[in-house]
């Protein structure tokens, strides 16, 4: 069993190492500097040391992390905390050796705990993160960073003033297909990036069963503005991070529309959102999400003048890849008797409209793809690798470069998207929430 665990942990680390070799190392780290410590050699430096970590928030996502922790040989889960007995009992059954708490502040008093993993509702992220850093703990927190813009800034400033490591679970930053795809985009595979389109569609009410009415907001926290940023923070935070990662810049203007279109059941957050983010150079991120139709699934498209990359699927398409000559096209039309009015450009008769594109995988062999329907996570989506990197940081004290900054950028954009929809106006990125990391 131990050998299997090591294999799980080392697999993606070896991929990162090999990708570094293929790109000369410097090219890889220019697009993914946070992966500098994610190699087999760096892992070997910690020997048999184990990070003693605690989990605060033992619901479905917390239990997902428990399963990943069990496959990380340098992690030891020593404590659990939750205010909801049913979740705490379920988590304790998975790791009976862990000590249980109902008050996270008592857990933070334990000097033997190196780091904490926070998987609570969004409105608690900032408070627990700040308390944990103040208690001298390394921190791994679920996305998004915080419920409000001011809390995001407070967490960022606390991180700048501590020697503790802080991670937010932006797992795409550690997913091999995303890492390779962004490197290919950076190398010029699809030419100049001219736009970005992301969407995430599901068909479910987002509700969970409530055993007693007084627990409604506790269990269905995602549906209420006091606790949740809705579709933007729960889904959009991942996809907007990918866009700013590729662009290396932050949009300057935000506008959008949102409403409760279908699930009129007392919820407060929108079940349909459509937000546009514009960069200073005119490029646009088009973001859309709803949870009453799943036909389009989940996609994250980076559009270049020479091709398109769908990062979520791990494939790319080239503009010139599958276009037949004008003569062949004309002969085929004569043969079939089909004469369509096709816009052409120049003597090649090359169509300017969509052709049949050939998908090319960004990676060789099999790799994991999500259909976007799971609200918990799926196997090998990068969550295991970033959690492993956090546990390694608990031992070495090394901070992962740019992870906090990327989480800050994506969360602030999500919150500004909500604000633009609620106020019905176009926003300019506020000066008070800019940080040195940002480029506009």
Q: Report the share of the chain in percent with pLDDT over 70.
A: 86
Task: Please answer whether residues 270 and 421 qualify as being in contact, where contact means their C-beta atoms are separated by less than 8 angstroms.
Answer: yes
pTM of the model: 0.90
What's the half-sphere exposure (Cβ side, CA atoms, 13 Å) at 325? 3
**What are the tokens at 390?**
């956090």
| Better pLDDT: 2 or 167 | 167
Task: Please answer whether residues 129 and 105 qualify as being in contact, where contact means their C-beta atoms are separated by less than 8 angstroms.
Answer: no
CA 146 to chain centre: 15
Q: Would you kindly state where each structural domain of the chain is located, as residue ranges? A: 2-173+380-401, 176-378+408-433
Task: Please answer whether residues 180 and 160 qualify as being in contact, where contact means their C-beta atoms are separated by less than 8 angstroms.
Answer: no
- Is the bond into 338 cis (omega within 30 degrees of 0)? no
Average pLDDT over residues 49-61: 97
* Cβ-proximal residues to 1 (8 Å cutoff; 6+ apart), any chain: none
- The overall average pLDDT reported for the chain is 89
Task: Please answer whether residues 405 and 435 qualify as being in contact, where contact means their C-beta atoms are separated by less than 8 angstroms.
Answer: yes
Task: Specify the DSSP element, H or E, that contains 115.
Answer: strand 115-118
d(CA 125, CA 155) in angstroms, rounded, equals 9
Residue 286's alpha-carbon distances to 121, 289, 419, 430, in angstroms, are: 27, 10, 16, 20
DSSP characters over 2-33: HHHHHHHHHHHHHHHHHHHHHTTTHHHHHH-G
**What are the tokens at 337?**
């008797």
* Cβ-proximal residues to 296 (8 Å cutoff; 6+ apart), any chain: 199, 201
Count of all residues that appear for the chain in the document: 440
Phi, psi of 255 (to 5 degrees): -145, 155
Per-residue pLDDT, 375 = 61
In degrees to the nearest 10, what's the CA dihedral of 228, 234, 237, 238?
160
Query: Please, which residues bridge with residue 52 across strands?
Result: 76
Q: Class for domain 176-378+408-433, per CATH?
A: alpha beta
Query: Which of 193-197, 267-271, 382-386, 434-438 has the lowest average pLDDT?
Result: 382-386
- Helices 85-94 and 60-69, packing angle to 10 deg: 10
Per-residue pLDDT, 16 = 72
Per-residue pLDDT, 326 = 46
Vertex 41, ends 39 and 43: CA angle to 5°? 75
Q: Class for domain 2-173+380-401, per CATH?
A: alpha beta
| Better pLDDT: 327 or 218 | 218
pLDDT over threshold 60, residue 346: no
Per-residue pLDDT, 36 = 87
Average pLDDT over residues 221-250: 97
Task: Specify the DSSP element, H or E, that contains 92.
Answer: helix 85-94
Per-residue pLDDT, 340 = 45
Vertex 383, ends 235 and 53: CA angle to 5°? 120
**What are the tokens at 398?**
């090394």
Q: Is 168 helix (H, G, I), strand (E, B) or coil?
A: strand
Residue 385 pLDDT class (50, 70, 90 cuts): very high
DSSP characters over 329-375: HHHHHHHHT------EEGGGTEESS---PPPEESSSS------S--S
Q: Report the share of the chain in percent with pLDDT over 90.
A: 78
Closest CA to 95 of 52, 137, 141: 52
Q: Is 435 helix (H, G, I), strand (E, B) or coil?
A: coil
């Amino acid at each position: 069993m131990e050998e299997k665990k090591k294999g799980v942990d080392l697999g993606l680390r070896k991929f990162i190492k090999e990708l570094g070799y293929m790109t000369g190392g410097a090219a890889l780290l220019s697009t993914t500097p946070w992966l500098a410590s994610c190699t087999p050699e760096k892992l070997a430096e910690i020997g048999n040391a184990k990070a003693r970590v605690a989990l605060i928030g033992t619901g479905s996502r917390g239990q997902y992390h428990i399963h990943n922790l069990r496959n990380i040989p340098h992690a030891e889960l020593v404590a659990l905390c939750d205010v909801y007995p049913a979740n705490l009992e379920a988590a304790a059954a998975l790791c009976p050796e862990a000590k249980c708490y109902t008050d996270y502040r008592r857990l933070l008093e334990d000097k033997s705990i190196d780091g904490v993993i926070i998987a609570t509702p969004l409105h608690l992220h900032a408070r627990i993160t700040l308390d944990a850093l103040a208690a001298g703990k390394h921190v791994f927190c679920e996305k998004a960073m915080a419920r409000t813009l001011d809390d995001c800034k407070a967490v960022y400033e606390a991180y700048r003033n501590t020697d503790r490591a802080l991670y937010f679970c932006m797992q795409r930053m550690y997913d091999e297909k995303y890492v390779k795809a962004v490197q290919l985009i950076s190398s010029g595979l699809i030419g100049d990036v001219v736009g970005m389109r992301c969407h995430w569609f599901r068909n479910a009410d987002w509700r969970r069963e409530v055993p007693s009415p007084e627990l409604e907001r506790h269990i269905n926290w995602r549906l209420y503005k006091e606790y949740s940023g809705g579709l933007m923070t729960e889904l959009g935070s991942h996809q907007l991070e990918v866009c700013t990662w590729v662009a290396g810049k932050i949009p300057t203007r935000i506008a959008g529309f949102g409403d409760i279109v279908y699930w009129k059941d007392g919820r407060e957050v929108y079940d349909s959102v459509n937000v546009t983010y514009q960069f200073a150079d005119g490029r646009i991120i088009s973001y859309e999400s709803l949870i009453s139709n799943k036909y389009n699934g989940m996609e994250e498209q980076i559009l270049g003048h020479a091709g398109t990359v769908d990062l979520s699927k791990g494939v790319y398409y080239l503009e010139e890849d599958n276009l037949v000559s004008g003569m062949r096209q004309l002969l085929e039309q004569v043969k079939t008797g089909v004469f369509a009015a096709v816009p052409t450009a120049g003597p090649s008769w090359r169509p300017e409209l969509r052709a049949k594109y050939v998908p090319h995988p960004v990676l060789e062999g099999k790799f994991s793809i999500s259909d976007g329907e799971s609200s918990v996570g799926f196997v090998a989506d990068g969550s295991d690798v970033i959690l492993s990197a956090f546990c390694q940081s608990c031992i070495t004290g090394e901070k992962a470069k740019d992870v906090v900054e990327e989480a800050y950028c994506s969360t602030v954009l999500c919150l500004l998207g909500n604000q633009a929809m609620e106020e019905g106006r176009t926003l300019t990125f506020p000066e008070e929430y800019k940080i040195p990391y940002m480029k506009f």
